[in-house]
Amino acid sequence: MTSPVWHPFTQHGLNEPIPHVVRAQGALLHLADGGTLIDAISSWWVTTHGHCHPRIAAAIAAQAGQLDQLIFAGYTHDPAETVARGLIDLAPRAEGQPALAHIFYSDSGSTAVEVALKMALGYWHNLALDGLATEESGGPRSCILVLEHSYHGDTIGAMSIGERGVYNAAWQPLLFDVGTIPFPAPGRERACLEALDDACADKPAAFIVEPLILGAGGMLIYPAAVLREMAAICRRHGVLFIADEVMTGWGRTGTLFACEQAGVVPDIMAVAKGITGGAIPLAATLATAPIFDAHRSTDRARLFYHSSSYTANAIACAAAVANLAIWREEDVLGRIAALAQGIAKRLERLARHPAFANPRQLGAIAAIDLIAADAGYLSDLAPRLRAFFLERGLLLRPLGNTIYLMPPYCLDEDQLDRLFLALAAAGDHFG
């Protein structure tokens, strides 16, 4: 019987196999046919500690029997309060920069970004209502600056600020007035920073950036010094600086948040994915006091008009409380460092294979490009690679010719060996 399910980012016309997973533990997925797969991309970069972590599973079960869901407009509950305080404690901070002090909950990376954009535009709108954003200071602002090759999600607002191309071609024209800043590729850092400086002079509302590494755009890494300079340029011009830590957060780049490596505190920061250890959807958008205060008043016209039914779902927040406890009580960064080391030595060997180029790594993210003639997003290389890895017991989803790893931090040495053997075999086969 054919399934009625319509899958995301899946071309059903290709009739690719759709593995049926019945159970998961750690880095392993157990299939209905009795087979197993190593989940080498943490099920879309979310299951940071591995699947079905016992502490997170227990927290979810306990919360489900106590308080499941509560309207969050004007009501609150312990798990949401605990996560908010915990996140504020752990958020990037630096001397002389306003701290991230307020948290708005949502349920996915895309909605965390939507909220960030709405906060930024709302900030300028409300300053204009107050008469504080004059023509001189820019008036109400609408333009959002973005980095070339960026990906921020698939809801209309988040998609509007992503790289224009195959991901969003069907929905042009999109929403935002967007200015694109060139990616700081090696040797192009200065050009990027100068373009940002010029664009900021035109008084955009905000600059949004994936800190240190662009994910879906191809796992493109750039230096912390560039991120630091980007934030400084925004600050100098009074342009809001938004960090999209949806992929980079929760240790992925080797520190809890990537911004830490540049000593940067954004005005607004979006987090999701690993906030619950990947067990259940939750996201948060953190903001500094000036952003919150611009919306705080006795005037109902200024309140932040955003909500969804499940905002701060209590079960999801309980999972996040457990995740925060794991971060506080266990040496997660040590685990990530050991995994990163294991990846680095194998990646170095793989890079000698003539079929590969551009090995790169940041923390527990590694990527390498397969030198192939049919490398574009629309070529059939990625589906063929997916099938090749599936046959070898691996869940991998290359981006065009870029094969990347984003494994759970519990991946062991044997699993790493199996992964890299399969990557070398892909080089032999497709190179």
Residues that bind ligand PLP (CB under 6 A): 108-110, 113, 151-153, 210, 215-216, 244, 246-247, 272
**How many CA atoms within 13 Å lie on the side-chain side of 293?**
8
CA distances from 212 to 9, 244, 273 (A): 25, 10, 17
* 45 is annotated as contributing to ligand binding: no
DSSP code string of 32-62:
TTS-EEEETTHHHHT-TT-BT-HHHHHHHHH
State in angstroms the smallest separation of the CB of 116 from ligand PLP: 10
- CA–CA gap between residue 421 and residue 346 (Å, rounded): 10
Tell me which residue has its CB nearest to ligand PLP.
109
**Of the two residues 108 and 415, which places its CB atom closer to ligand PLP in the complex?**
108
Instruction: Provide the strand spans (E) within 289-342.
Output: none
**Of the two residues 39 and 244, which places its CB atom closer to ligand PLP in the complex?**
244
**Of the two residues 153 and 427, which places its CB atom closer to ligand PLP in the complex?**
153
- CA–CA gap between residue 286 and residue 102 (Å, rounded): 6
- CA–CA gap between residue 36 and residue 29 (Å, rounded): 5
* Three-class SS state of 240: strand
**Of the two residues 100 and 246, which places its CB atom closer to ligand PLP in the complex?**
246
* 273 is annotated as contributing to ligand binding: yes
State in angstroms the smallest separation of the CB of 230 from ligand PLP: 16
* 6 is annotated as contributing to ligand binding: no
State in angstroms the smallest separation of the CB of 142 from ligand PLP: 21
State in angstroms the smallest separation of the CB of 207 from ligand PLP: 15
Residue entry with tokens 């979810």: 60
**Of the two residues 53 and 273, which places its CB atom closer to ligand PLP in the complex?**
273
Please say whether the beta carbons of 240 and 123 come within 8 A.
Answer: yes
**Of the two residues 149 and 346, which places its CB atom closer to ligand PLP in the complex?**
149
- Both tokens of 428, joined, read 């032999």
* 309 is annotated as contributing to ligand binding: yes
Looking at the chain, how many residues does it have? 431
* 44 is annotated as contributing to ligand binding: yes
State in angstroms the smallest separation of the CB of 404 from ligand PLP: 12
Please say whether the beta carbons of 60 and 279 come within 8 A.
Answer: yes
- Both tokens of 379, joined, read 């070529």
**Of the two residues 244 and 260, which places its CB atom closer to ligand PLP in the complex?**
244
* 109 is annotated as contributing to ligand binding: yes
State in angstroms the smallest separation of the CB of 244 from ligand PLP: 5
Please say whether the beta carbons of 72 and 307 come within 8 A.
Answer: yes
**Of the two residues 246 and 318, which places its CB atom closer to ligand PLP in the complex?**
246
State in angstroms the smallest separation of the CB of 163 from ligand PLP: 12
List Cβ neighbours of 350 (8 Å cut-off, separation of 6 or more): 356, 359, 368, 420, 423, 424, 427
- CA–CA gap between residue 271 and residue 113 (Å, rounded): 9
- Both tokens of 382, joined, read 């990625």
* 397 is annotated as contributing to ligand binding: yes
* Three-class SS state of 316: helix
1 CB-contact burial (10 Å; exposed 0-12 / middle 13-18 / buried 19+):
exposed
**Of the two residues 285 and 288, which places its CB atom closer to ligand PLP in the complex?**
285
- CA–CA gap between residue 316 and residue 302 (Å, rounded): 29
State in angstroms the smallest separation of the CB of 109 from ligand PLP: 2
State in angstroms the smallest separation of the CB of 95 from ligand PLP: 27
Binding-site residue set for substrate: 44, 151, 273, 307, 397
Binding-site residue set for pyridoxal 5'-phosphate: 109-110, 244, 308-309
Binding-site residue set: 44, 109-110, 151, 244, 273, 307-309, 397
